[in-house]
């Protein structure tokens, strides 16, 4: 193999999740050097995996910054995450194209396919040379939104594939997170929070309001949890992009512990149920076997949750349905997800080094 230099770039939680498994393999691969560009808020997490092979980029994207990255590292190809807003990930793809540098995008979620690559006029100006997608469902939905078929390459989902490997290991004793250990005898419910209010109601940077957000949903969960016949601990797991503080609040027999750094995997392992909205983390919960529901009261758009579309999560539309489900949550079906592929990471690396793909 000819020596390769790969520039990885991800500046949101989804992009980080799918590119870190790639970086882990690259660290062990001879003849391939790499650099991982990310924002300051993810620097510690990325550094723990890639060590010194990291550079922090400004959160305000610019062609000058993208150009400087390409000039300093001189990559043979770039591998980028995908965002629904203006980011260095997007700009880097454009600048790479100008220089004839091969680019690969890696999709992390089954949603907003076109929006990730279009400008404010709806023009697809941020398309990479190849787009690594999770499965045939992603392919069908991407084509329906107008992405070119020649762009798409099914590779599986690298983060969920790695997770499936962790889940399948036997004989492992999973530590109880401290936020749960403090409350013995409580029913544990993990709430998979997201920044929907800020993204769709507050700043509105990602589109029109959905009809629900994390504040409304958490309030309903607290109210319905109070109707259960024993004390309840709701672990409010913040989204990685959240800047909210960790807190503990008491509502009668219901304790709400808001956490950010606790391992989601361990939380789900020790939860009686998990409730989310549209987060891909619902899929992780299903793979572990935790009973899960997607609660979307007053939803203005249908089909928002991938876990629901894949038949892994129960969709709940109102408080009554939420309360009924919480009284007797059923575990998800045990299936082998089609987006789990052992060769996922190697397939993405191959897309980057094979410019004739």
Q: What is the pLDDT along the chain (357 residues), one digit of tens a residue?
A: 467 999 999 999 899 999 999 999 999 998 899 999 999 999 999 999 999 999 999 878 888 999 999 999 999 999 999 988 888 999 999 999 999 999 999 999 998 899 999 998 999 999 999 999 999 999 999 999 999 999 999 999 999 999 888 777 655 778 999 999 999 999 999 999 998 887 776 555 566 788 899 999 999 999 999 999 999 999 999 998 888 999 999 999 999 999 999 999 999 999 999 999 999 899 999 999 999 999 999 999 888 899 999 888 999 999 999 999 999 998 887 766 789 999 999 999 999 998 755
- Sign of the four-CA dihedral 130, 134, 138, 140: positive
Residue 96 in domain: yes
Residues of the domain holding 132: 4-157+340-353
What integer pLDDT is reported at residue 336 of this predicted model?
A: 65
What integer pLDDT is reported at residue 36 of this predicted model?
A: 97
In angstroms, the Cα distances linking 126 to 105, 154, 241 are 10, 19, 23
What integer pLDDT is reported at residue 86 of this predicted model?
A: 84
What integer pLDDT is reported at residue 63 of this predicted model?
A: 87
Residue 335 in domain: no
134 and 197 share a domain?
A: no
Residue 124 in domain: yes
CATH number of the domain encompassing residue 313:
3.40.50.2000
119 and 95 share a domain?
A: yes
- Report pLDDT digits (tens) over 281-314: 999 999 999 999 999 999 998 888 999 998 889 9
Q: How many helices (H) and strands (E) does the chain have?
A: 14, 14
Dihedral (Cα; 132, 136, 141, 145), 10-degree rounding:
50
210 and 277 share a domain?
A: yes
Q: Which residues contact 198 (CB under 8 A, 6 or more apart)?
A: none
102 and 184 share a domain?
A: no
Q: 305 near 313, Cβ under 8 Å?
A: yes
Q: Counting beta carbons within 10 angstroms of the beta carbon of residue 253, is it exposed (0 to 12), middle (13 to 18) or buried (19 or more)?
A: middle
Residue 164 in domain: no
Structure tokens, 136: 């045939």
Ordered DSSP codes for 29-41 = -TTEEEEEEE-GG
Residue 334 in domain: no
Residue 226 in domain: yes
226 and 87 share a domain?
A: no
Residue 132 sits at the vertex; the CA angle it makes with 131 and 136, to the nearest 5 degrees, is 110
Strand-strand pairing, 273-276 and 254-259: unpaired
């Amino acid at each position: 193999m000819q020596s390769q230099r790969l520039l990885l770039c991800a500046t949101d939680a989804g992009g980080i999740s799918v590119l870190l498994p790639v970086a882990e393999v690259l660290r062990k691969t001879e003849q391939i050097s790499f650099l991982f560009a990310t924002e300051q808020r993810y620097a510690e997490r990325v550094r723990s995996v890639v060590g010194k092979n990291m550079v922090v980029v400004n959160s305000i994207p610019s062609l000058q910054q993208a150009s400087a990255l390409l000039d300093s590292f001189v990559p043979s190809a770039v591998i980028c995450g995908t965002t629904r807003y203006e980011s260095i990930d997007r700009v880097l793809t454009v600048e790479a194209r100008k220089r004839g540098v091969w680019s690969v995008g890696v999709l992390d979620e089954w949603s907003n396919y076109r929006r990730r690559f279009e400008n404010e006029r709806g023009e697809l100006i941020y398309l990479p040379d190849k787009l690594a997608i999770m499965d045939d469902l992603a392919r069908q939905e991407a084509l329906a939104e107008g992405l070119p078929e020649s762009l798409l390459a099914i590779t599986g989902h690298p983060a969920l594939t790695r997770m499936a490997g962790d889940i399948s290991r036997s004989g492992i004793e999973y530590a109880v997170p401290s936020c749960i250990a403090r409350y013995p005898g409580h029913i544990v419910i993990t709430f998979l929070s997201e920044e929907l209010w800020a993204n769709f109601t507050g700043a509105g940077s990602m589109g029109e309001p959905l009809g629900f957000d994390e504040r409304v949903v958490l309030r309903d969960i607290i109210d319905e949890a109070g109707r259960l016949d024993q004390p309840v601990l709701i672990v409010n797991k913040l989204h990685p992009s959240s800047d909210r503080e960790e807190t503990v609040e008491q509502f009668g027999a219901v304790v709400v512990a808001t956490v950010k750094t606790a391992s989601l995997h361990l939380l789900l392992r020790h939860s009686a149920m998990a409730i989310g909205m549209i987060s891909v983390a619902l899929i992780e919960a299903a793979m572990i076997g935790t009973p899960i529901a997607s609660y979307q009261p007053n939803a203005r758009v249908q089909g928002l949750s991938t876990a629901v579309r894949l038949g892994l999560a129960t969709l709940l539309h109102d408080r009554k349905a939420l309360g009924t489900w919480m009284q007797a949550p059923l575990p998800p079906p045990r299936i082998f997800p089609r987006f789990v592929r052992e060769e996922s990471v190697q397939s993405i690396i191959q897309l980057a080094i094979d410019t004739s793909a």
